[in-house]
Every structure is written in C-alpha cells, then in structure tokens.
Amino acid sequence: MGTIELDALEVRLGGRAILNGLSGSLRGQAIGLLGPNGAGKSTLINTLLGFHRATSGTARVFGLDTYRDRAQIRGGIGYMPENDSFIGNMSGVRFVRYMAELAGLPSAEALERAHEALFYVGLGEVRYRKVNTYSLGMKQLIKLAQALAHGPRLLILDEPTNGLDPIARQRMIQLIQQIRKEGSVRLLISSHLLRDIDETCDEVLILKSGRIAALCNIEEERRSNRSFMELETVGATESFSVSIRGLGCEVACFPGGRIKLVLPEHVEARDLYLIASEQKVQIRRMHVRRDSLEDIFLRAMDYGPMDNGVMVTEGGRPAHVHP
C-alpha cells in the first residue's frame, strides 16, 4: 500500500471540480508534487490535511480516510505551509512547543522535542529569540522545525525553498535530503522548482488542470538510461515527425523547429539523417542526453492527462509511468 492512495478523487470548490478524478498510489520515500499555477497542488495538500472533503472518490494517508479520520491522521502528519503563519511575539522554542502540543504531544515532551527540532534545523542558538526577529531563511527553518517536532510519519513541505538565497536554499535541500536518508519519515514536497524536486525526490506527481498528467518513479527513469535526443531543424513539416514516429520514436515538437525524441534501441542518428535528407529537412544540431525530470515535466505539460491518469505520448503509448 502506498503512503498516499488516491481513488477517483474529486474535490469541488465554488461549484467547480478543482481535483478531477485523481487515482494513484504514491509510494516514494520522497514524493515531488509539481504543476503550473492553479493545477490543484494546494487543494490536494489541503485535502490530505483533512481541510477539504472529497466530493466523490477517496484520498487515504496510511490507509486512513483523510477527511473522516482526520483527527487520527493529524498527529502523523507534519506540515510546513508556504505562507508564514507565526505567532510572532513568541520565542522560537515556545512557538515550536506550542505547535507540537497542538499536534498532540504532552507539554513536557513537546518542550523537549521543540529544543531537539530547533537544533536539528540549525536554529539552536536563536531559539529564545522572538520569531518576528528571524530572517526569512530562519523563518523557513522554524517552519520545518515545527513540522518535525512531534515526530510525524509524513512530512508535507509546501515550497520549502521559497525566497531563500542560494546558500540558504542549499541548507534546506541538505536538510530534506538528510530527513529522507534517515528513512523514518515519508515526504511530500510541493515546489515550483524542478531542481528542488530533482535533488530531493524519488517519485513525482505532476498535476495539470486538476488531473494527473504524470506519476512516475524518478529513480527508475534515471536508471532506465533512455536515449533522449534534441534536434534543431529547419524546414521540418508534420510529415517529418510522422516519419520519425514511424521508426518507433516518441516525438514532441516545439516552436522554432525544436524536436525532442525518445529513441527505441534499434534507431540511430543516421536513420534520422536519412529521413531528413529525403524530406529536405536540415538538421542543424543534434544533442543526445539522458532523460531528466524536466523532460518528464515538459511532456506531461504538452500532452496532458488521459482518462486513466496515465500520461500518453503523441504516439498513443503510455510513457514511463507506474500505476
């Protein structure tokens, strides 16, 4: 069973389906949540936190219904929100202790854990300072500390590197990697930055217009070492992409004659040159590289979701997704 199980999940808000038939089993140690603005990432997080009720279908965390069993789930989830929501005139340690108490810990234990969590994220020395005197980087870190203090099994991080300078971002990424490596907590990380997800996650869920555009295991993608090619062409028409597809390639066309391909094993560069010369297409540049999260994301955005929640390429075949 996955950490998060979605079964035909629909959430309607303001008379509109914001999440529309999401199905999937999220099993990764660290799951990245990607999607353009308005895709439904926050709505999904709020649903997992028990704030929204499924209009139909279900969302489960550790086998429990996220709405019906929300009181039971509460203590098992740590949530780092995107927006600041502090009680600014509390000291760091008092604030984290208070949040741990709200998550269900008895007062003395909450205090002990608050100290530990603040040291863990590197705020030990400033833990008696008022939160409203913290820098932006420190505020991100204390948000992480309060999400960790009560010892959750699932940590939901919403835009954890928001507004951080490169050094503070690196620190945050290292902390997330460390939490993942320690292995006792599952992570769901929402970010606009592909790089954040690439550096911290082993699975990715991509949403588009309230639907699943892709759900895939990034580690498997990396291991599969697929041959991925970018062409810059002049004079390529639809018939060029049709011919390449005829070789068994997955093809994505972009403005300016840019074409991205996934090559099956038997196809080589010279096969492409042959078709190009037959059709009087100029190949100005050919670049071969491994598949990346960026490619997965771009394909998900280009081809959109299909009914069964599986990303399908232009050629009609499901692409690197697991159910």
Ligand X SMILES: Nc1ncnc2c1ncn2[C@@H]1O[C@H](COP(=O)(O)OP(=O)(O)OP(=O)(O)O)[C@@H](O)[C@H]1O
User: Where is 110: in which H helix or E strand?
Assistant: helix 107-120
Task: Select the residue interacting with ligand X from 4, 26, 31, 39 (CB under 6 A).
Answer: 39
Please choose, from the candidates 174, 177, 127, 118, the residue with its C-alpha nearest in 3D space to the C-alpha of residue 148.
118
Task: Select the residue interacting with ligand X from 9, 18, 77, 155 (CB under 6 A).
Answer: 18
Tell me which residues in 42-101 interact with ligand X (CB under 6 A).
42-43
The residue type found at 311 is M
Q: How far is the CB of 23 from ligand X (least distance, A)?
A: 18
Q: Which residues pair with 33 in a beta bridge?
A: 190, 205
Name which of 149 and 189 has its Cβ closer to ligand X.
189
Name which of 100 and 293 has its Cβ closer to ligand X.
293
Residues 175 and 170: their CA atoms lie apart, in Å, by 9
Mark the segment that binds ligand X (CB under 6 A) among 33-41, 59-67, 174-182, 250-258: 33-41
Mark the segment that binds ligand X (CB under 6 A) among 32-40, 109-117, 136-144, 307-315: 32-40
Q: How far is the CB of 108 from ligand X (least distance, A)?
A: 38
> Measured on CA atoms in the order 33, 38, 42, 45, is the torsion positive or negative?
negative
Q: For residue 41, state whether it binds ligand X (rule: CB under 6 A).
A: yes
Name which of 59 and 117 has its Cβ closer to ligand X.
59
Q: For residue 191, state whether it binds ligand X (rule: CB under 6 A).
A: no
Q: For residue 13, state whether it binds ligand X (rule: CB under 6 A).
A: yes
Output the DSSP codes for 156-225.
EEESTTTT--HHHHHHHHHHHHHHHHH-SSEEEEE-S-HHHHHHH-SEEEEEETTEEEEEEEHHHHHHHT
Name which of 41 and 180 has its Cβ closer to ligand X.
41
Name which of 48 and 111 has its Cβ closer to ligand X.
48
Task: Select the residue interacting with ligand X from 21, 28, 32, 35 (CB under 6 A).
Answer: 35
Task: Select the residue interacting with ligand X from 1, 37, 182, 270 (CB under 6 A).
Answer: 37
> Measured on CA atoms in the order 123, 124, 126, 132, is the torsion positive or negative?
positive
Q: Which residues pair with 32 in a beta bridge?
A: 189, 204
Are the C-beta atoms of residues 193 and 187 closer than 8 Å to each other?
Answer: no
> Which residue is nearest to ligand X, using beta carbons?
14
Name which of 37 and 184 has its Cβ closer to ligand X.
37
Name which of 208 and 299 has its Cβ closer to ligand X.
208
Are the C-beta atoms of residues 225 and 242 closer than 8 Å to each other?
Answer: no
User: Where is 109: in which H helix or E strand?
Assistant: helix 107-120
Q: How far is the CB of 66 from ligand X (least distance, A)?
A: 15
Residues 220 and 213: their CA atoms lie apart, in Å, by 18
Q: How far is the CB of 42 from ligand X (least distance, A)?
A: 3
Name which of 42 and 58 has its Cβ closer to ligand X.
42
Cα-to-chain-centroid distance, residue 138 = 23
Binding site for ligand X (CB under 6 A): 13-14, 18, 35, 37-43
